[in-house]
Amino acid sequence: MSKQTVWTIIGGGNGGQSMAGHLAIMGYRVRLYDIFQATVDAINNQGGIHVDGVVQGFGRLEFATTDINKAIKGADVLVVVAPAINHKEIAESCMPSLSDGQIIIIHPGATCGAFEFKKVLDDGGSQIDCLIAETNSLIYACRSTKPGYASILGIKQDLKIATLPASGNTRVLEVVREAFPQIVGAKNVLETSLENANAVMHPAPTILNTSMIESDHEWLYYWEGVTPTIGDFVVDLDRERLAIGKAYGVQLESIMSFYKKAYQVEASNLSETVRKNPAYEKIKGQKDLRTRYLLEDVPMGLIPMIELGKMRGVDVSRMETIAKLAEFLLNEDFHKDGRTLKNLGISDMKPDEFDHFIETGTRETNKQKEFV
């Protein structure tokens, strides 16, 4: 593929507009889909997106649209840039318009985003031959002050991507790295799913800041919210995450190592480490418990991690404690619509079936196995 690759960005928030503008500036053919007519109109009226920051210029789009079918038809790559709690609905909207050979990238997938997208297609009886990839994080530090304008403050290095099935990794990586050489390949979607740092960095500190959130005090999420005890507990949670990775044969990076590598900060504990990170200086703490830090990062982060861990006998009791407490405090049943293995359709797979599914995207039936 060349710059003739047609990219469709699904989601016109900060990340989606930054990516659409950036790709268009690079010279790609880009469409943008959003549910808000006002966003779409603002972009179409000016013909594209103004980008500033570490990328500067005007990215001229083919079009923005609220018509998902129009957005998808003829596109080579679809990039979903939306909250994880919307992924399922987006998959359902996309399904009727998909065609063979398309690449879908969930950016980021939170935990098990690719599994969930594939489950929607399988349940819908889709016969389309597509590749579903996910990244472990958003590639940009960015913001959008109004429709049609995006500020890219930074582009992350070593963002991970993996494909379901993993046999498609090479093809997806080739297409994606042409535009984003910062992206590297992960072994499989378990690696990207377990590298979702939000699952350890958001729910536990949020819960342990409950009174601060509901107080009159303004506070800084990392600099003040990650106290010594909270930081140590997050590191313990992170050890559970690393142990899940080990059980599935994927090598993950510890949160402490991540900070050292990504921000060149290092200290004896996590609380001091985040306080040394100038990128966190102005990140305010929330003033309401009901934010994505719980509503998304528990059902789409901690819960699938917990269930993956339990499937291989890993001790995930700290993660479980936090997920349960989040459900109790918010009076929510995050297991109902969250990414449980049952909801993902993978709860009854034996270890070798699961490995096979990740590698090939197909499920061996018992009958097939009998004849092997």
Strand-pairing partners, residue 155, are 140
By CB under 8 A, tell whether 210 contacts a second copy.
yes
Q: Which of 228, 257, 342, 359 binds a second copy (CB under 8 A)?
A: 228
By CB under 8 A, tell whether 229 contacts a second copy.
yes
Return the number of the residue (115 or 233) whose C-beta is nearest a second copy.
233
Q: How many CB atoms neighbour CB 183 within 10 A?
A: 22
Report the amino acid identity of residue 255. Answer: I
Shortest distance, CB of residue 210 to a second copy, whole angstroms?
Answer: 4
Q: Are 197 and 232 in contact (CB under 8 A)?
A: no
Shortest distance, CB of residue 328 to a second copy, whole angstroms?
Answer: 6
- Sign of the C-alpha dihedral computed for residues 145, 151, 153 and 156 taken in this order: positive
Shortest distance, CB of residue 322 to a second copy, whole angstroms?
Answer: 8
**Distance between CA atoms of 294 and 315, rounded to whole angstroms?**
22
Q: Which stretch binds a second copy (CB under 8 A): 23-31, 72-80, 212-220, 344-352?
A: 212-220
**Token reading at 304:** 């699938």
Binding-site string for a second copy from residue 176 to residue 205, where x marks contact by CB under 8 A and - marks none = -----------------------------x
By CB under 8 A, tell whether 225 contacts a second copy.
yes
Q: Where are the alpha helices (DSSP H) in 220-350?
A: 228-247, 255-263, 270-275, 292-295, 303-311, 317-330, 334-337
Q: Which of 208, 265, 311, 316 binds a second copy (CB under 8 A)?
A: 208
Q: How far is CA 325 from CA 30, 203, 225, in A?
A: 43, 10, 18
By CB under 8 A, tell whether 224 contacts a second copy.
yes
Return the number of the residue (62 or 327) whose C-beta is nearest a second copy.
327
Q: Is 344 helix (H, G, I), strand (E, B) or coil?
A: coil
Shortest distance, CB of residue 330 to a second copy, whole angstroms?
Answer: 8
Shortest distance, CB of residue 233 to a second copy, whole angstroms?
Answer: 6
Identify the residue whose tokens are 């990392």.
222
Q: Is 337 a catalytic residue?
A: no
**Token reading at 61:** 């789009």
By CB under 8 A, tell whether 152 contacts a second copy.
no
**Distance between CA atoms of 330 and 61, rounded to whole angstroms?**
41
Q: Is 54 helix (H, G, I), strand (E, B) or coil?
A: coil
Q: Which of 329, 332, 356, 360 binds a second copy (CB under 8 A)?
A: 329
**Distance between CA atoms of 219 and 103, rounded to whole angstroms?**
41
**Token reading at 327:** 């459900």
By CB under 8 A, tell whether 289 contacts a second copy.
yes
Q: Which stretch binds a second copy (CB under 8 A): 151-159, 227-235, 248-256, 334-342?
A: 227-235
Shortest distance, CB of residue 208 to a second copy, whole angstroms?
Answer: 4
- Give the end-to-end CA distance of the chain in Å, rounded to a whole number: 38
Return the number of the residue (195 or 297) whose C-beta is nearest a second copy.
297
Residue 301 DSSP label? I
Question: Considering only CA atoms, which of 152, 94, 153 is closest in space to residue 118?
Answer: 94
Q: Which of 56, 215, 251, 257 binds a second copy (CB under 8 A)?
A: 215
By CB under 8 A, tell whether 236 contacts a second copy.
yes
Q: Are 63 and 44 in contact (CB under 8 A)?
A: yes
Which residue among 22, 107, 238, 297 is the active-site one? 297
By CB under 8 A, tell whether 321 contacts a second copy.
yes
Which residue among 123, 202, 216, 356 is the active-site one? 202
**Token reading at 130:** 């597509």
By CB under 8 A, tell whether 362 contacts a second copy.
no
Q: Which of 44, 126, 167, 227 binds a second copy (CB under 8 A)?
A: 227
Please give the biggest Cα pair distance in the chain: 67
By CB under 8 A, tell whether 328 contacts a second copy.
yes
Q: Is 202 a catalytic residue?
A: yes
Query: Which stretches of the chain bind a second copy, using CB under 8 A?
Result: 205, 207-212, 214-215, 217, 219, 224-225, 227-230, 233, 236, 289, 317-318, 321-322, 324-325, 328-329
**Which residues are part of the catalytic machinery?**
202, 297
